Chains A and B, each alone.
Chain A
């Protein structure tokens, strides 16, 4: 498999949210608006790329017995970096993402890629994989966030498309997250078959 395929598989063929069904908590929890979805996606992408780079670089020095704990420490350190940077430079986004930023640590995508991919591949390949998976995740979150924001409040990235009074508030609230994601997964399946 060449590097381009490694990069592009995260978007469609092996999209972490729509196909692999990983990382559902942030997917449902923070996508009440498109910008929140995008912010969460990019934060996760950073952690994913960096953890893939670090883990693929040090994989030969880690004894097999403490593999998973070591991975968790590396990931947790990166998440702490993201947390501190966001708190300093993007306080509004930090506040609206809330508890889901520290919870990037337990996002199954990050540990999953570390274990299944980075611990077996070279640094360059792992970087491409992390970037593709991360951006695929961001794309899914932005799509879900846009759909919910549009249906719920008539806006897209904060720009009013139709008056808020006509919006269906339900889609911004918790049930809307489940329902919109259900239909999006069905749609992606249909497109994959075609």
Chain B
């Protein structure tokens, strides 16, 4: 039951993009087409889950025993940066097809605050490893859901006659606001 609450809360109620404001850069940057949004979601899911597991282990077996908690930020960001490089190299060798699909998005992920954010939140909320993994997967799904819906809306937005001053980013932000309002409807669910 606990896992169910984590999943629903991360995907709908506290959606990582629309109510926590993490990962806004890719949310605004790669949401012009549904196909790129799906690719980005794949890459984020992949890295987010691995990063959460690795940073969790580092926190539990290195930072806490040696009382180095104040180095958390430095450790985590380095691990994520190294991990992204590693994933890129491994993917290139093992599965060229998957690399083709996700390749362009991987370098962008180091500066995606959703990855570091979820890693830190997992530690802050004192989840165990399995809960952390479930939390990471649900957040990645929540990220993907918001991104794909928003990409669909933006594809429609291209065809609509928007007032001149609001064209482009301003109207996209306002639409995102209305989307966030729709997600507010889920609050109270958990």
Contacts and interface: CB of A to CB of B under 8 A. Distances in A.
Contacts of B77: 72, 76, 105-106
Interface stretch (B17-25, B45-53, B94-102): B17-25
A133 B74 CA distance: 24
Contact of B21 (A108, A174, A186): A174
B71 A80 contact: yes
Nearest to B116: A106
Nearest to B112: A106
Contact of B73 (A68, A83, A111): A83
Contact of B111 (A21, A99, A111, A183): A111
Contacts of B166: 182, 186
A137 to B, nearest CB: 15
Given A73-B78, A178-B174, A178-B177, A24 B28 contact: yes
Q: Which of B28, B113, B180, B184 has the most CB of A within 10 A?
A: B113
A107 B73 CA distance: 13
A21 B73 contact: no
Interface in A172-188: 173-179, 181-183, 185-186
A99 B18 CA distance: 16
In the complex, which range does the number of interface residues on chain B fall in? 35 or more
Given A24-B24, A106-B113, A175-B181, A99 B74 contact: no
Given A25-B21, A105-B77, A174 B173 contact: no
B39 interface: no
B70 interface: yes
A28 B25 CA distance: 11
A176 B177 contact: yes
Contacts of A27: 24
Given A24-B25, A99-B117, A186-B165, A175 B184 contact: yes
A105 B25 CA distance: 14
8 contacts: A25-B113, A80-B73, A84-B70, A106-B110, A106-B113, A175-B180, A179-B178, A185-B173
Interface of A: 21-22, 24-25, 27-29, 68-69, 72-73, 76-77, 79-80, 83-84, 99, 102-103, 105-108, 111, 170, 173-179, 181-183, 185-186, 189-190
